[in-house]
Amino acid sequence: MKTSLAVYFMALMGLFITSCSSDDGMDTGSVDTQNMEGKTAVNFELDASSLGYIVQTKADQFSPSNSYTKNAFSIYAFRIKQDGGSVYEYEKTIDLTKLSYSPTTKKLTGTDILPIGNYKFLPVYGIANQSTLLTTPDWAGKTLNDTYTIGYEGGKDLTEIFLPVTVGNTGALTAYPMGLTSTPNQTVTAKLQRAVSRVDLMFIKVKKEEDGSYTETAYPENKDVFGEAEIEKIEMRYKGLNNLMSYFGSNKTTTPFDKNIELNLDKGIIMIGESENASTIGVGDTFDYDNINSEQLIYGSAHVFGNYLLPNNDASKATSLEIYIKPKDEVGRTINVSLTADKKLPLERNKVTIVKVYVIEDDPNTPPPTVFTTKVKFDVEIETKWAGSHEVTGELE
């Protein structure tokens, strides 16, 4: 008996760009179909086209900010092992060595063998490839329930995590009979959505108007907000980070922690603006924060692709941020974003929080101010984008 199993990974908001266009180089293993009594061959077809993005550091240059491979997928299979029972026990994690990724079809396909029975499946992405940063259950001997969590204690290399969407708990997972009748098995489907939050930075020179609004101003040719300095280090100093979430994206933190996270500048995460017009990042319905280009930034301003964090369950502002930025061979500067409670960051699932640092130009006839100018004034605007937005503003001396 042959069982067809297809798990399609899709995003609700259409926020994902094409996946990385290279195979992970692993061979697809053959499946031994001998001695199949009590078992069934399960075909997998995982649509991975919603995973992957490329950050555009220049108009004509691309720098991968993350690499998606089949080894980051995990599909946990749980089966009722007692006749007439209702408890799903861990059976196995699907064998990825039998699957291969096609850059043409953007699909992960292959076959694995499962014992015949009633199943529920828990698919995730971004857990298996981050074992040094995340604490996950030892599934052996475990039953399927809502108590299991993903733990995070901070680290600069945390990448995206995708978890099931629309399903709030294990009880709502669809039950699938596999190989129990002569009729074809029902296709197993699942929708995954980005389950983390991200914090990005923008540094923009502005003129502050009498009514308190801001007008972006471009830097002269070959000048920028960093004073043309090569940036050696950017450190995000957080207080009040979450450290636990469920396998359905709910915050399970009981004691938040503080952590300094150094951004990996080797990934080309800093982009300098080249547009003659005002920046369009964070304006209107611009939610594509995974494919930003230099023409979306006013000349000389900067966008910094930040880091991922475990989110809150809502838009509450609970996390403080201090930014430390250091140019090469020069003294660094600290910018305290969260001076008051209303300046704390809202960290929501599947959203980017943009911290906009406005470098205020008081006199256009003097040399343009930079992030490192002595006594420069800042104004910080915090926006949350992807699916909706909100913001707070305040001026820093």
pLDDT digits (tens, 9 = 90+) for 67-113: 567 888 888 999 999 888 999 999 999 888 887 777 666 566 777 78
pLDDT at 396 (0 to 100): 35
pLDDT at 107 (0 to 100): 66
pLDDT at 298 (0 to 100): 93
pLDDT at 384 (0 to 100): 62
Greater confidence (288 vs 235) lies with: 235
pLDDT at 189 (0 to 100): 74
pLDDT digits (tens, 9 = 90+) for 357-369: 889 888 888 889 9
What distances in angstroms separate CA 180 from CA 38, 185, 201, one per listed residue?
10, 8, 54
Over residues 297-305, the mean pLDDT reads: 93
Residues 6+ apart with CB under 8 A from 384: 315, 346, 348, 351, 352, 353, 354, 390, 391
pLDDT digits (tens, 9 = 90+) for 16-72: 323 333 344 444 455 555 567 888 877 777 665 555 444 443 333 334 345 567 888
Over residues 179-184, the mean pLDDT reads: 83
Nearest to 250 by CA among 156, 172, 366, 302: 172
333 and 372 Cβ atoms separated by less than 8 Å? yes
Greater confidence (283 vs 218) lies with: 218
Over residues 3-20, the mean pLDDT reads: 31
Q: Read off the pLDDT band of 351 (50, 70, 90).
A: confident
* Cα–Cα distance measured from residue 170 to residue 304, given in angstroms and rounded to the nearest whole number: 37
pLDDT at 30 (0 to 100): 54
The H or E element containing residue 39 is strand 39-47
Calculate what percentage of the chain has a pLDDT beyond 90: 38
Instruction: Out of 103-112, 120-129, 180-189, 219-228, pick the least confident.
Output: 103-112
* Cα–Cα distance measured from residue 259 to residue 156, given in angstroms and rounded to the nearest whole number: 10
Over residues 231-247, the mean pLDDT reads: 96
pLDDT at 219 (0 to 100): 95
382 and 363 Cβ atoms separated by less than 8 Å? no
Over residues 325-330, the mean pLDDT reads: 94
Write out the DSSP string of 230-250. PEEEEEEEEEEE--EEETTS-
* Cα–Cα distance measured from residue 188 to residue 176, given in angstroms and rounded to the nearest whole number: 7
* Cα–Cα distance measured from residue 287 to residue 371, given in angstroms and rounded to the nearest whole number: 26
pLDDT over 90 at 135, yes or no: yes
> What is the SS3 assignment for 8-29?
ECCCCCCCCCCCCCCCCCCCCC
Single pTM value for the model: 0.83
* Cα–Cα distance measured from residue 54 to residue 65, given in angstroms and rounded to the nearest whole number: 6
pLDDT at 256 (0 to 100): 95
pLDDT at 55 (0 to 100): 41
* Cα–Cα distance measured from residue 212 to residue 110, given in angstroms and rounded to the nearest whole number: 59
pLDDT over 50 at 124, yes or no: yes
DSSP, res 391: E
pLDDT at 377 (0 to 100): 61
Over residues 280-309, the mean pLDDT reads: 80
Residues 6+ apart with CB under 8 A from 47: 8, 9, 10, 106, 107
pLDDT digits (tens, 9 = 90+) for 245-264: 999 999 999 999 999 999 99
pLDDT at 71 (0 to 100): 85
Mean of pLDDT over the chain:
79
28 and 57 Cβ atoms separated by less than 8 Å? no
pLDDT at 165 (0 to 100): 73
Q: Read off the pLDDT band of 14 (50, 70, 90).
A: very low
pLDDT at 343 (0 to 100): 84
